[in-house]
Chains A and B, each alone.
Chain A
Amino acid sequence: MAKGSDRVRFNVGGKIFETTTTTLANAGRDSMLGALLDENWNLNAGDGAAAEYFIDRNPACFSVLLDLLRSGELHLPPHLPDKLLYREALFYGLLDHVRAARWGPFDGDRLRLSSSIYGRAPSDATAIRASPDGGCCVAHGRVVHIYDWMLDEHRPINLDYQQVNDAGYVDSGHIVVTVSERPGHTIGGMGLFSSSSGELRHRFRVYHDSKAKTFTAGALCFSDSQFKIFASCKGRSNEYGIGVWDQNTGDQSDFFYEPPGCPFGEADELQWIKGDNFLMVATIFPRIEKCFIGILDFREKNMVWSWTDDGRMTTASLDEKRVLHAIVMENNRSICVVNQYEDLGFLDLRSNRGGGVRWSSRSKLLKRKVRGEETCYPKLVMKSGQLFSSMNDTISVFSGPDWVLTSTLRSSVGGSIHDFSIGGDRLFALHSEENVFDMWESPTLPIL
């Protein structure tokens, strides 16, 4: 080895590369190239600078990966297939590096449609969920299709082939699936699966009076700070309410029986409110005629806030504004709702039963379109200070304190958007008319 130099020479599949140990160290100790540097292998010992280290791999990919280690950026030559690069990256233990450099940090105003993935399931899709590492899963009828972040499809998962109601990632390796109860069975409708192998790892049970009961599980949500899983549950003998399980043990830790007049067991949307440690439960048209939203405190076992549009709906004219989805805003101070005209409305959480919805008057500015038969109910998602709302074939992005429309996402295929989800710095949108979902990414940050 040349004196004072940390140069290293590789012969990868016949092609010579020269680099430095500093660059290789960027790979980290947990990678093949990092381990190679270990003194046990005396990489540099022996015959001076001319010595090459032979690696029997694809030189084109090595070139790309070496560049990634040097610059932190990923630049794929047009002829090189993604999959080939991923495979090589896996060999060197650099897959995480590739993933981190593949797409940029999430920004609702810089999203690009990066690909559309066509599925195969014949029945209607119910939900799409993004995983924390950029993969996603699509609930189709009675199975859930799983795609990792490389968009490779894994074995679909099912729970006794029952109708899937909701799915969600506990972490990037594990998915919880809720299904309708299977008649004649004592075990219920919720399971934990490995996202890579599709194996059923755990079946969640509901106990009433210390007896396991069959149940239909609906909406799901997770509290990462408290390691809890929440799901709306309907039991056979009117045991309706919210079940709570521990993420680590999988055991039931609590059950919040619904008070009379509060249809929690059929909830469409659960949301854990970080900081306040409350759970928002929303049951919405068309499941029930009125919309009911409650905020639950599990420590005190009481409902600290509730709202319903009951009474306003009695004279149900078609033009009446109907709450169709609800989420708690990130500041925990209000709940955002949306109606059939994609008006945003806000409910104040600080005053209990504090009057009605403050509707923004956006729809007045837009032309009200005549609706076709196939309408999808609007959905709301809040992500890093931006509000996303889906309506027909478009997702609108609202920003700023007054929720100004800043971007519109629309893809040409697939028809109206049935569901969408944001995770792992990606946005996935599931269409209802054709069996396709779109993946939106923010490009990597500009060089300057």
Chain B
Amino acid sequence: MSSPYKKNFRIAALKQRVEIDLKHGEKTCKVLERAIYEIYNCNASGLSFEELYRSVYNMVLQKYGEKLYNGLVATLIWNVKEMLRSFKVAQNDLFLVELNRKWDNHNKSLQIIRDIFMYMDRTFIPNARKTSVHDVGLILWNDIVLHSYKIHKRLVTILLDLIQKERTGQVINRNLMRNMTKMLIDLGSSVYQEDFEKPFLEASASFYSCESQQLIECCHCGEYLKKVEKRLHEEIERVSHYLDEKTEPKIMYVVGNEMIASSMQRLVHMESSGLLNMIMGDRYDDMSRMYGLFRLVPEGISTISDVLNAHLQQIGKQIVTDPEKLRDPVNFVQCLLNVKDKHDKIISSVFNNDKTLRNALNSSFEYFINLNNRSAEFISLYVDDKLRKGLIGASEEDMEITLDQVMMQFRFLQENDVFEKYYRQHFAKRLLSGKSKTVSDDAERSLIVKFKTECGYQFTSKLEAMITDMKTSEDTMQGFYASQVSSDATNNLSVQVLTAGCWPIQPIAPCKLPFEILGMCDSFRNYYLGTRTGRRLTWQTNFGTADLKANFEKNQKHELNVSTYQMCILMLFNASDQLTCKEIEQATEIPTSDLKRCLQSLACVRGKNVLNKNPMSKDIAEEDAFMVNDKFSSKFFKVRIGTVAARKESESEKQETRQRVEEDRKPQIESSIVRIMKSTRVLDHNNVVAEVTKQLQSRFLPNPVVIKKRIESLIDREFLERDPADRKLYRYLA
């Protein structure tokens, strides 16, 4: 415990000390104030750093932090105001120079002052939660100098004027510009954005809007784009030289918006220089420029894609509806491929493989390929052509490319099942017409593998079964000849055993075979059924070929390569000299239409007319008479007599194929409905239709009417029932 006396003494002493210190404090403040004045007037070298630093230290130590801080702020304000006065009067050209010089000075002084007040910055300021010395300096500069109304307005106007000058081709002092923008950035990003960037972007917008209007009147599209590109480069360069890098996307946007977005439609559709013109003229440079610029604006790519789409659909439609082209399926497909190739190249080399544009290309292809419902058939015919002869001598790589192109087209088809039908038919013909008719087994197999990866096992199982049949037949034939003890040297039989159901063959009644062949056939039948049980063989006489040796006048010997039907017809003439069409039909039981076609090819084709016809007309009537053309001659020993084949399907056949396709679709639709209903139990009509469409769209687009019919059929067969309360609802029964 201290005594009362001592206590009193202490209090008195304390009071006295405060008084002395106060005076001393005032004095120190004056010294510092003076020092700051000297610093602003660039006389710092005469001062002692240690002394000043120690003064600040002492002031803070003696709890005069608050006073010191306020004094500092007041002194700074006075000095900044003093500076303001000196360059307010500076003339236009000198204004920026002067402002820059003062700002430099302020910055330097601030650094020195900050060093002196370092101790206060470190101890007093964080505890008292004040703004640090450096920040105070910047805030004061911003508030007092920049936001004195006239200075601010003058600064912005001058800066924008200079930029405008530079845009019109004059040279400006970029260094000074950089210093000024750096000052604004240093004062805080909001100062830069509000005080400079915003007016700058506005001024730029009006400048470029003007320029855009002028240019579009006098330039064609390519030229205009070139100019815009140049402007953009200029702006990027400007940003890198004296603006904040964050301004770059903003100014790019402004230029894009004013020069591209606003006149985009006009540019694209510009007559004789727009995008269409570029595509047709293969002007890759212009297109790539357009893509680069349009990409910058929001609707740019979709504008290009719209034009591309419209263009593609137009030329596509032209191709698929051109009756001239419809006559030649191979050419038809080749044309499509050419169009696709050309635009693929454009997209990959010019449009940077843009996804949107590629989708546009694909969707327009899908659109117009499916516009013609014979596309599936034509594509299959194209493959057929390629595999029969088009690829002879082609390297493996070329073959792969062709096959990939085929696959690409196949993907666009909505009705994959129709394609499958045709493909199977053509494939069967290729297989049956003998080895020589198809380029290579490898190509066939490779294509089947591709289909398999694209559409799954289901799609190709039959095709694979067909190949297997061919193989087994070979083995069977070897076995057959090995078992045959007395081999018949004159006639040679080769049989292909085809599994029913796998081949696109309608069972038809076989024609009457000549007795010479019949014996062979029977022995094969006996052999085949003898080695296997539970099989049934039917002869498909509408397929197959035969080689006949024929003698004509002047000792002309020829080997005729003919179809089975043709063989049957020709063999008749061994017995009689002249036969009418009707007689032939009765003798062979060949269906009328096929018979007519065979007779046509035997009698009416120049250079291959082994038969003579009376009367000599192209069309075949029932009463027309035929006889052997003894005067037949040919350069070749072997003569191949083709069938006047309707390579392309006739109208009625087309109908038939359609019908078969529709028939095949029914069980698929039904099973899909049942699958859906089984999992959901109850569903309304619209949803059933939507789900079925979704499930089947990889194979074909089911018709809602057909779906409805299938549902009704399922209701009849008591797979489903209608909800008694809501007729639109179906319930699954099981």
Query: How distant is the Cα of A166 from the Cα of B50 in the complex, in angstroms?
Result: 46
Report if A55-B115 is in contact (Cβ < 8 Å); known contacts: A40-B44, A42-B45, A196-B127: no
For A55, the closest partner residue in chain B by CB is: B50
Query: How distant is the Cα of A90 from the Cα of B60 in the complex, in angstroms?
Result: 12
Q: B77-120 vs A: 1/0 string, CB under 8 Å?
A: 00000000000000000000000000000001001100100110
Report if A40-B118 is in contact (Cβ < 8 Å); known contacts: A56-B50, A90-B123, A91-B57: no
Q: B113-137 vs A: 1/0 string, CB under 8 Å?
A: 0010011001100110000000000
The answer to whether B50 and A53 have CB atoms under 8 Å apart is yes
Q: Which of A29-37, A236-244, A252-260, A361-369 contacts B (4 or more CB under 8 A)?
A: A29-37
Query: How distant is the Cα of A45 from the Cα of B49 in the complex, in angstroms?
Result: 14
Query: How distant is the Cα of A196 from the Cα of B128 in the complex, in angstroms?
Result: 11
The answer to whether A30 and B118 have CB atoms under 8 Å apart is yes
The answer to whether B50 and A54 have CB atoms under 8 Å apart is yes
The answer to whether A32 and B53 have CB atoms under 8 Å apart is yes
The answer to whether A41 and B44 have CB atoms under 8 Å apart is yes
A115 interface residue per 8 A CB criterion: no
Task: Write out the residue numbers on chain B whose beta carbons fall within 8 Å of the beta carbon of A91.
Answer: 57, 119
B230 interface residue per 8 A CB criterion: no
Query: How distant is the Cα of A38 from the Cα of B53 in the complex, in angstroms?
Result: 14
Q: A296-326 vs B: 1/0 string, CB under 8 Å?
A: 0000000000000000000000000000000
For B39, the closest partner residue in chain A by CB is: A40
The answer to whether B49 and A41 have CB atoms under 8 Å apart is yes
B437 interface residue per 8 A CB criterion: no
The answer to whether A40 and B53 have CB atoms under 8 Å apart is no
Report if A32-B45 is in contact (Cβ < 8 Å); known contacts: A40-B112, A56-B54, A91-B57: no
Task: Write out the residue numbers on chain B whose beta carbons fall within 8 Å of the beta carbon of A93.
Answer: 118-119, 122
Report if A35-B127 is in contact (Cβ < 8 Å); known contacts: A40-B44, A40-B112: no
Query: How distant is the Cα of A90 from the Cα of B127 in the complex, in angstroms?
Result: 15
Query: How distant is the Cα of A173 from the Cα of B57 in the complex, in angstroms?
Result: 22
The answer to whether B49 and A36 have CB atoms under 8 Å apart is yes
Partner pick for B115 among A38, A42, A197, CB 8 A cutoff: A38
- Majority secondary structure, B binding face: helix
A195 to chain B: closest CB distance in Å?
A: 11
Task: Write out the residue numbers on chain B whose beta carbons fall within 8 Å of the beta carbon of A56.
Answer: 50, 54
Of A31, A91, A197, chain B has the most CB atoms within 10 Å of the CB of A91
Task: Write out the residue numbers on chain B whose beta carbons fall within 8 Å of the beta carbon of A173.
Answer: 126
Cβ < 8 Å to B, chain A residues 41-68: 41-42, 45, 53-56
| Chain A count of residues within 8 A CB distance of the other chain | 21
B109 to chain A: closest CB distance in Å?
A: 9
The answer to whether A32 and B118 have CB atoms under 8 Å apart is yes
Cβ < 8 Å to B, chain A residues 1-49: 30-32, 35-36, 38, 40-42, 45
A142 to chain B: closest CB distance in Å?
A: 25
Q: B420-460 vs A: 1/0 string, CB under 8 Å?
A: 00000000000000000000000000000000000000000
Cβ < 8 Å to A, chain B residues 23-53: 44-45, 47, 49-50, 53
A169 to chain B: closest CB distance in Å?
A: 16
Query: How distant is the Cα of A36 from the Cα of B50 in the complex, in angstroms?
Result: 8
The answer to whether A35 and B57 have CB atoms under 8 Å apart is no
Task: Write out the residue numbers on chain A whose beta carbons fall within 8 Å of the beta carbon of B122.
Answer: 90, 93
Query: How distant is the Cα of A90 from the Cα of B53 in the complex, in angstroms?
Result: 13
Query: How distant is the Cα of A55 from the Cα of B52 in the complex, in angstroms?
Result: 11
Task: Write out the residue numbers on chain B whose beta carbons fall within 8 Å of the beta carbon of A31.
Answer: 118
Query: How distant is the Cα of A379 from the Cα of B392 in the complex, in angstroms?
Result: 85
The answer to whether B45 and A41 have CB atoms under 8 Å apart is yes
The answer to whether B49 and A35 have CB atoms under 8 Å apart is yes
Partner pick for A197 among B54, B108, B127, CB 8 A cutoff: B127
Task: Write out the residue numbers on chain B whose beta carbons fall within 8 Å of the beta carbon of A35.
Answer: 49, 53, 115, 118
Q: Report how many A-B pairs have Cβ atoms within 8 Å.
A: 44
Of A32, A55, A56, A91, chain B has the most CB atoms within 10 Å of the CB of A32
Query: How distant is the Cα of A42 from the Cα of B47 in the complex, in angstroms?
Result: 10
Query: How distant is the Cα of A414 from the Cα of B111 in the complex, in angstroms?
Result: 52
Query: How distant is the Cα of A194 from the Cα of B111 in the complex, in angstroms?
Result: 29
B36 to chain A: closest CB distance in Å?
A: 13
Task: Write out the residue numbers on chain A whose beta carbons fall within 8 Å of the beta carbon of B45.
Answer: 40-42, 45
For B57, the closest partner residue in chain A by CB is: A91
Task: Write out the residue numbers on chain A whose beta carbons fall within 8 Å of the beta carbon of B118.
Answer: 30-32, 35, 93
Of B47, B49, B111, B127, chain A has the most CB atoms within 10 Å of the CB of B49
Task: Write out the residue numbers on chain A whose beta carbons fall within 8 Å of the beta carbon of B108.
Answer: 40
Query: How distant is the Cα of A32 from the Cα of B126 in the complex, in angstroms?
Result: 18
Task: Write out the residue numbers on chain A whose beta carbons fall within 8 Å of the beta carbon of B126.
Answer: 173, 196
Query: How distant is the Cα of A90 from the Cα of B108 in the complex, in angstroms?
Result: 25
Task: Write out the residue numbers on chain B whose beta carbons fall within 8 Å of the beta carbon of A53.
Answer: 50
A189 to chain B: closest CB distance in Å?
A: 25
A150 to chain B: closest CB distance in Å?
A: 14
For A90, the closest partner residue in chain B by CB is: B123
For A194, the closest partner residue in chain B by CB is: B127
Task: Write out the residue numbers on chain A whose beta carbons fall within 8 Å of the beta carbon of B111.
Answer: 38, 40
Query: How distant is the Cα of A38 from the Cα of B44 in the complex, in angstroms?
Result: 12
Query: How distant is the Cα of A44 from the Cα of B282 in the complex, in angstroms?
Result: 73
For B44, the closest partner residue in chain A by CB is: A40
Q: A242-271 vs B: 1/0 string, CB under 8 Å?
A: 000000000000000000000000000000
Cβ < 8 Å to A, chain B residues 393-422: none
B155 to chain A: closest CB distance in Å?
A: 28
Q: B696-710 vs A: 1/0 string, CB under 8 Å?
A: 000000000000000
A308 to chain B: closest CB distance in Å?
A: 40
For A29, the closest partner residue in chain B by CB is: B115
Cβ < 8 Å to B, chain A residues 194-241: 194, 196-197
Task: Write out the residue numbers on chain B whose beta carbons fall within 8 Å of the beta carbon of A30.
Answer: 118
Query: How distant is the Cα of A301 from the Cα of B269 in the complex, in angstroms?
Result: 54
Q: B673-697 vs A: 1/0 string, CB under 8 Å?
A: 0000000000000000000000000
For A56, the closest partner residue in chain B by CB is: B54
Query: How distant is the Cα of A36 from the Cα of B51 in the complex, in angstroms?
Result: 12
B264 to chain A: closest CB distance in Å?
A: 42
Query: How distant is the Cα of A173 from the Cα of B118 in the complex, in angstroms?
Result: 19
Task: Write out the residue numbers on chain B whose beta carbons fall within 8 Å of the beta carbon of A90.
Answer: 119, 122-123
Task: Write out the residue numbers on chain B whose beta carbons fall within 8 Å of the beta carbon of A32.
Answer: 53, 118-119
Task: Write out the residue numbers on chain A whose beta carbons fall within 8 Å of the beta carbon of B53.
Answer: 32, 35
Query: How distant is the Cα of A90 from the Cα of B124 in the complex, in angstroms?
Result: 12
Query: How distant is the Cα of A196 from the Cα of B44 in the complex, in angstroms?
Result: 35
For A39, the closest partner residue in chain B by CB is: B45
Query: How distant is the Cα of A40 from the Cα of B107 in the complex, in angstroms?
Result: 13
A62 to chain B: closest CB distance in Å?
A: 13
B69 to chain A: closest CB distance in Å?
A: 16
Of A31, A35, A54, A90, chain B has the most CB atoms within 10 Å of the CB of A35
B106 to chain A: closest CB distance in Å?
A: 14
For A201, the closest partner residue in chain B by CB is: B129
Query: How distant is the Cα of A93 from the Cα of B53 in the complex, in angstroms?
Result: 11
Task: Write out the residue numbers on chain A whose beta carbons fall within 8 Å of the beta carbon of B50.
Answer: 36, 53-56
Query: How distant is the Cα of A373 from the Cα of B76 in the complex, in angstroms?
Result: 67
A19 to chain B: closest CB distance in Å?
A: 15
Task: Write out the residue numbers on chain A whose beta carbons fall within 8 Å of the beta carbon of B47.
Answer: 41
Query: How distant is the Cα of A194 from the Cα of B129 in the complex, in angstroms?
Result: 10
Task: Write out the residue numbers on chain B whose beta carbons fall within 8 Å of the beta carbon of A41.
Answer: 44-45, 47, 49
For A54, the closest partner residue in chain B by CB is: B50
Of B50, B54, B108, B123, chain A has the most CB atoms within 10 Å of the CB of B50
Task: Write out the residue numbers on chain B whose beta carbons fall within 8 Å of the beta carbon of A54.
Answer: 50
For B127, the closest partner residue in chain A by CB is: A197
Query: How distant is the Cα of A197 from the Cα of B129 in the complex, in angstroms?
Result: 11
Pull 6 A–B residue pairs with CB atoms less than 8 Å apart, ordered by A: A31-B118, A32-B53, A40-B44, A40-B108, A40-B115, A93-B118
Binding site for B on A (CB under 8 A): 30-32, 35-36, 38, 40-42, 45, 53-56, 90-91, 93, 173, 194, 196-197
Considering the complex of A and B, which 6 residue pairs feature the smallest CB-CB distances, nearest first? A35-B115, A41-B49, A40-B44, A40-B112, A197-B127, A55-B50
Given contacts A38-B115, A91-B119, A197-B127, 17 further A-B contacts (CB under 8 A): A32-B119, A35-B118, A36-B50, A38-B112, A40-B44, A40-B45, A40-B108, A42-B45, A53-B50, A54-B50, A55-B50, A56-B50, A56-B54, A93-B118, A93-B119, A173-B126, A194-B127
